[in-house]
Structure 1
């Protein structure tokens, strides 16, 4: 009886194996197809932090997929200009892009909520909203009209306030300055009397050095040192009220994404998730050393924005964000979700993160190398 059962089991297994082999021969395994993608970015090729994130993403995807999906990364201007990344992905010129959503405010004003909101949420809070508060679903809903999928692919953390070629002692000192600052922060500065100029990162140094602009913000000490901005302006201001973080985006052409088998989609998502964390960790690890170099070796004058500048910026920020929320129904939907989550997380952070910082530094601003 046992021998008959064993023989039957072997026969059934052999039949199933034969059927599976025949199916594989008749329909070559979809899982073994290879895909070669292009990724365009808004950053200089291999630039520290934000520029190296896409390189890490491509490397991870190739390794995890055993070469079935490869991604060639292009810096700003190599295939398309930095501010044309979104169009290139939407139109299929490139399958993928890496950038920041506030560059597309002309196409979708509400996209700015997903990059940086003045006096808004920081990187930890933004990641929580995007992953667990419905934020990424809203982001994709916004981009659906363009045929683009989006994933969160890095964060800068709290940025610096910017480089200025003169001291800022009051709001009046901002009047008439030409400054590079994108997004909602740029709109706020405009209402404070500053003439806002928009340009890709690769053009900042020469514009500041030549006097085409009087001030600029970029990201933070790690990137600012790499650009040599200390050679073009003496005064370095904090805090970066305009960008409590910038969330970087990985955008993917919807048709190209849907052509991938499920396992490659999962590999891509996993790699992007890794890069989202690693980029922020890199900035956290490198910014302090870079700041010390700027101050101690290059003699940069670090200054805190005067209280009246911060107060005026906050007042205008509230108006600018509220006006954006009233742009259309989708903007209002995103704003409601964003602001509700910020209210909740602020309540908790008041007794957790902020309370801990206050306990750790009871004297408040304890900057040493930063303040003269």
Structure 2
């Protein structure tokens, strides 16, 4: 493995996987998932939503804000923002991908706003449709019918409209009220160490009372990826990627990172992204969010030097080109060949399922 002085001895390299014990019986995961994804031969691909979240325009705004902050610090005029020193337990760079959610209180206001907005427009559409039919076929006067409809509509629309308005007011005007970090992260994929960590907030099924957070950690190559399928409220299939340890009860549900949907291709693309991100024999995935960190990862820096990659490839990209690349990524995800690949991990471990 290259750059051993930077990467830990436990770092993952696709060509340096050790022989492992026979996999354990895992009925607990098989109750959730029936499809295990093959290891190896990942495409240079990621869910298209990963691209869309970090457009060149957003990168330029971030660069401008960072530059202004540095200038203000140098001039002694900088004033930190309310949330600058708050730890939200999130990190996504050349060393690790650590994931966390907002607190329950934060989600309350987000749900109040989003659900209220959806229900208002949905209810308005239904009411307009029904009201039109009532007015056409009404036996009483038009004015009386319209008055009755208005009274009913004020109640039906008023509640979701009020939820929408209150949620938007709090989110837009009172960030200190709703922007609150959770207790800690949920999981971490560490490229530099090659370890996967699930943060444990329970002890024997009970929430820990002393505030400590346990850590369940194992090498990346000891995990397998699964696609679990479950029906939504309408009976439509929802597919989500899981990462499950081969020998212990350690599991990551990536449903919060990548929204479950009817297609299996996005979870497969996420599995390719994870393999590429963790593999220190390969450069970091060439995605907008990692451009500012590429020179800090030795394998990536050497790759960029040899290939002559433009260090401002993403940040200087015009909107039309970026839109075309996003469209191409959607197409590549749609055509992914995951289930046609051999499982290369089978050369290092014997599976019992």
Q: Which TM-score tier does this pair reach, normalised by the shorter chain? A: under 0.3
TM-score normalised per structure 1: 0.23
TM-score normalised per structure 2: 0.24
Where relative contact order (Cα < 8 A, 6+ residues apart) is larger, the structure is: 2
